[in-house]
Amino acid sequence: MKIELWCDIICPFCGLNEHRLENALAEFEHGADVQVLHRSFQVHPELDRVGVTQRDLILMRGLDPEKVEKNILEPIEQAAKREGLVPYRVIDRTLGPTDYAHELLAYASDNGLHSESWKHIFRAHFGTAQRLWTIDEVIDFAAELDLDLVETRLVLQSGRYREQVKNDQREAQRLGANGTPFMLIDRKHPVSTALNTYELLSILRSAWRDLRIQPLI
């Protein structure tokens, strides 16, 4: 069974969903037979590379920071804490464009680090509020993956994976996604909202049953 998971590294629901999916797969009876493929989706490509605080981004959208923090962001941090994902900094962080980060993830995947790089980058951003908006910042993160830094810089400067990253997002939008996280199981079961671990486990089991049903001949 194949799961395609469209994410952005600054989406707090995505980081939490990554953790929950990992837990769901650990409980899923056929977890060893499931392939998870992350795909890129940028939610704020318009932001400046100097970065913007979460509170300022809320203000830029014309919303009340206190209400957003109380009703949306704080509950995410509390849920992460209850589920053992700590630290998970959703409010006290900066955000920026993630094109270089996604290009790095594509390069890391080609070097056999697909799952490791995605998991690590969520922990870097939400665990330590790491900034990943410029080439230099992304190179600093690449060092944590033990990638060749000279080659990585050349890859980012050349834009080798730029179209791949853009095509990931175009495909998600063609499939009906207008945000993240967006999950597609075996190209037949779309999930366009954040779910808890047990809801994900239920969906996995249902999709597996559907996969095993053979048509009558």
Give me the CATH number covering residue 68. Answer: 3.40.30.10
pLDDT of 71 reads 96
Taking a C-beta distance cutoff of 8 angstroms, is the pair 111, 151 a contact?
A: no
pLDDT of 210 reads 85
**Residue 85, token pair as written in the block:** 């994902």
Q: Is the dihedral of CA 176, 46, 114, 21 positive or negative?
A: negative
DSSP H stretches of helix in 1-148: 12-27, 54-60, 65-68, 74-82, 99-110, 114-122, 128, 135-144
- Please check the confidence at residue 215 and state whether its pLDDT lies above 90: no
The residues near 55 (Cβ < 8 Å, ≥ 6 apart) are 65, 69, 91
- Please check the confidence at residue 217 and state whether its pLDDT lies above 60: no
The reply to whether 37 falls in a domain is yes
Overall number of domains in the chain: 1
The reply to whether 217 falls in a domain is no
The reply to whether 78 falls in a domain is yes
The reply to whether 65 falls in a domain is yes
The reply to whether 29 falls in a domain is yes
Bridge pairing between strands 35-40 and 189-191: unpaired
The mean pLDDT of 190-199, rounded to a whole number, is 91
Beta bridge partners of 182: 6
DSSP H stretches of helix in 28-125: 54-60, 65-68, 74-82, 99-110, 114-122
Burial 173-192 (b: 16+ CB within 10 A, else e): eeeebeebbbbbbeeebebb
pLDDT of 193 reads 83
Instruction: Say if pTM beats, i.e. exceeds, 0.85.
Output: yes
Going by pLDDT thresholds of 50, 70 and 90, the confidence category of residue 212 is low
Taking a C-beta distance cutoff of 8 angstroms, is the pair 10, 18 a contact?
A: no
Domain that holds residue 14: 2-212
**Residue 160, token pair as written in the block:** 């080798």
The reply to whether 103 falls in a domain is yes
The reply to whether 156 falls in a domain is yes
Q: Note the pLDDT tens digit of each residue in 17-74.
A: 999 999 999 999 999 999 999 999 999 999 999 999 999 999 999 999 999 999 999 9
pLDDT of 211 reads 76
